[in-house]
């Protein structure tokens, strides 16, 4: 128990160590370098400690005690975001995305696991803080951190099942520029957080020597965010700081996968994930005090951002080739459907459907150490629609993001 407590402490410290965010979208699936290189199609094939994030029932394949540290470095920049007649770019940023996993077999049929990773993240900062879209926002950060204790059970020689508790922390930040005149403005800053609890259920079924099936269902997370609002640059003389609060719901998701191993050297996997984004209708923020001094009354008591997101899906195809006893090569393709409703667009998430190509390799370094590397190119498609007023034109231009992953796994 003392060893497990030390592992839990290390998991928490790594997960909360960095500023973690994404410009490409809310949903994050970069849990390990092998998973990145396989396009997330890792629900039904070979297991690793990072299986805790996608299909924890797979950990019944892992003997003894294992620990895995993963990190994905992401860079992205969105050019030519148009809001009405105005156009601007986001800043190019670099984000580390760390994760840590621990698994332990505790009997002939039982396994425990503990993982720390992030499932949702968004961060955008616009270069021009005076452009028209800044009245909606010029910076947004939505970052979640998940800690997940898990138990898995090998019910039969072919069937394993698992259940886990998700403890999810959310940090929400937003900055809005309020203009009184073209040259006089105040910056409203929001910074709040929340903790929500949900769970994951999963299964793994070994049909025969060549074919396996796996799947998981994650429940949705309902957050009640609260924190202070204040002003940065304050030319308008607002003095009514206080607290804000609001509800943010992250969707449930159902993932199913199948693997096929025609020979000892080849492994193919398919993954389909349905994300129930239709629960994400709007972000309504309420204030203790009206943002403004009464004379201006620029925003009212509530700031509402209509989203009207639609359910979306993600399809991944992955292949792995065993080049030698110590080296494996991997490749993948992903189609990721955007949940954005083109009748309720804004500048919070300037991205549409995504195509992702992945490459990677795994190396058995000996002494119970496995190293995995990955690279993914993410191609975001352009999108044109209107804002919630159904009149203001909004356009996102296509862009490319780059993801580089590394994982180190140790068995002891």
Query: Domain with 246 in it: what CATH number?
Result: 2.40.160.60
Which pLDDT score is estimated for 134?
61
Residue 20 above 60 pLDDT? no
Which pLDDT score is estimated for 240?
64
Token digits of residue 57: 């029932």
Which of 16-25, 26-35, 45-54, 136-145 is least confident? 16-25
The alpha carbons of the chain give a radius of gyration, in whole angstroms, of: 22
Q: How confident is the model at residue 276 (pLDDT cuts 50, 70, 90)?
A: very high
Residue 303 above 60 pLDDT? no
Which pLDDT score is estimated for 8?
43
Residue 75 above 90 pLDDT? no
Q: How confident is the model at residue 274 (pLDDT cuts 50, 70, 90)?
A: very high
d(Cα 100, Cα 67) in Å, to the nearest integer? 8
Question: Domain limits at 371?
Answer: 2-411
Q: How confident is the model at residue 133 (pLDDT cuts 50, 70, 90)?
A: low
Percent of the chain with pLDDT over 70: 87
Which pLDDT score is estimated for 331?
98
Q: How confident is the model at residue 135 (pLDDT cuts 50, 70, 90)?
A: low
d(Cα 187, Cα 291) in Å, to the nearest integer? 10
Which pLDDT score is estimated for 118?
92
CB-count burial class (<10 Å; 0-12, 13-18, 19+) for 325: exposed
Main-chain dihedrals φ then ψ at residue 42, nearest 5 degrees = -135, 40
Percent of the chain with pLDDT over 90: 53
| 176-191 average pLDDT score | 78
Which pLDDT score is estimated for 22?
40
Which pLDDT score is estimated for 380?
86
Residue scoring higher pLDDT (135 or 391): 391
d(Cα 203, Cα 51) in Å, to the nearest integer? 12
Mean pLDDT of the chain: 85
d(Cα 52, Cα 37) in Å, to the nearest integer? 17
Q: How confident is the model at residue 96 (pLDDT cuts 50, 70, 90)?
A: confident
Q: How confident is the model at residue 294 (pLDDT cuts 50, 70, 90)?
A: very low
Q: How confident is the model at residue 84 (pLDDT cuts 50, 70, 90)?
A: confident
Residue 57 above 60 pLDDT? yes
Residue 381 above 80 pLDDT? yes
Alpha helices in 19-145 (DSSP H): 33-37, 51-54
> Structural domain tally of the chain?
1
Give pLDDT tens digits for 356-380: 999 999 999 999 999 999 999 999 8
Q: Pairing relation of β-strands 86-88 and 110-117?
A: unpaired
Q: How confident is the model at residue 260 (pLDDT cuts 50, 70, 90)?
A: very high
Residue 241 above 90 pLDDT? no
Sequence-separated (6 or more) residues with CB below 8 Å from residue 158: 205, 206, 207
Residue scoring higher pLDDT (216 or 11): 216
Which pLDDT score is estimated for 366?
93
| pTM of the entire predicted model | 0.88
Residue 59 above 80 pLDDT? yes
Are the beta carbons of 68 and 101 closer than 8 angstroms? Answer: yes
| 300-310 average pLDDT score | 67
| 77-100 average pLDDT score | 79
Q: How confident is the model at residue 312 (pLDDT cuts 50, 70, 90)?
A: very high
């Amino acid at each position: 128990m003392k060893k497990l407590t030390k592992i839990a402490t290390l998991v928490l410290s790594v997960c909360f160590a960095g500023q973690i965010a994404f410009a490409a979208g809310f949903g994050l699936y970069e849990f390990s370098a092998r998973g990145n290189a396989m396009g997330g199609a890792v629900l039904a094939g070979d297991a690793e400690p990072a299986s805790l994030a996608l299909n924890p029932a797979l950990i019944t394949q892992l003997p003894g005690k294992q620990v895995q540290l993963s990190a994905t470095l992401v860079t992205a920049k969105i050019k030519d975001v148009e809001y009405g007649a105005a156009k601007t770019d986001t800043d190019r940023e670099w984000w580390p995305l760390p994760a840590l996993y621990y698994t332990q077999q505790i009997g002939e049929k039982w396994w425990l696991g503990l993982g720390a990773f992030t499932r949702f993240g968004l961060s955008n900062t616009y270069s021009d803080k005076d452009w028209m879209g800044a009245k909606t926002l010029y910076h947004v950060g939505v970052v979640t951190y998940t800690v997940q204790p898990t138990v898995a059970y090998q019910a039969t020689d072919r069937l394993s099942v698992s259940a886990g508790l998700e403890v999810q922390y959310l940090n929400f930040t937003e900055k809005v520029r309020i203009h009184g005149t073209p040259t006089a403005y105040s910056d409203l800053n929001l910074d709040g957080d929340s903790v929500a609890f949900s769970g994951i259920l999963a299964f793994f079924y070994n049909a025969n020597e060549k074919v396996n099936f796996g799947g998981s269902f994650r429940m949705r997370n309902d957050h009640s965010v609260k924190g202070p609002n204040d002003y940065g640059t304050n030319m308008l003389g607002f003095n009514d700081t206080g607290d804000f609060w609001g509800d943010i719901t992250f969707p449930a998701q159902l993932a199913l996968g199948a693997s096929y191993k025609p020979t000892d050297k080849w492994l193919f996997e398919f993954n389909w994930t349905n994300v129930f984004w239709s629960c994400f209708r709007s972000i309504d923020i309420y204030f203790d005090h009206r943002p403004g001094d009464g004379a201006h009354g620029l925003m009212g008591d509530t700031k509402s951002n209509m989203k009207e997101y639609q359910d979306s899906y993600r399809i991944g195809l992955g292949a792995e080739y065993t080049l030698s006893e110590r080296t494996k090569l991997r490749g993948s393709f992903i189609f990721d459907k955007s949940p954005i409703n083109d009748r309720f667009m804004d500048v919070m998430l300037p991205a549409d459907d995504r195509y992702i190509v992945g490459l990677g390799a795994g190396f058995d370094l000996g002494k119970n150490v496995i190293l995995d590397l990955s690279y993914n190119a993410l191609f975001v498609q352009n999108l044109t629609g209107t804002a919630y007023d159904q009149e203001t034109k909004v356009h996102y231009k296509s862009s490319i993001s780059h993801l580089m992953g590394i994982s180190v796994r140790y068995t002891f």
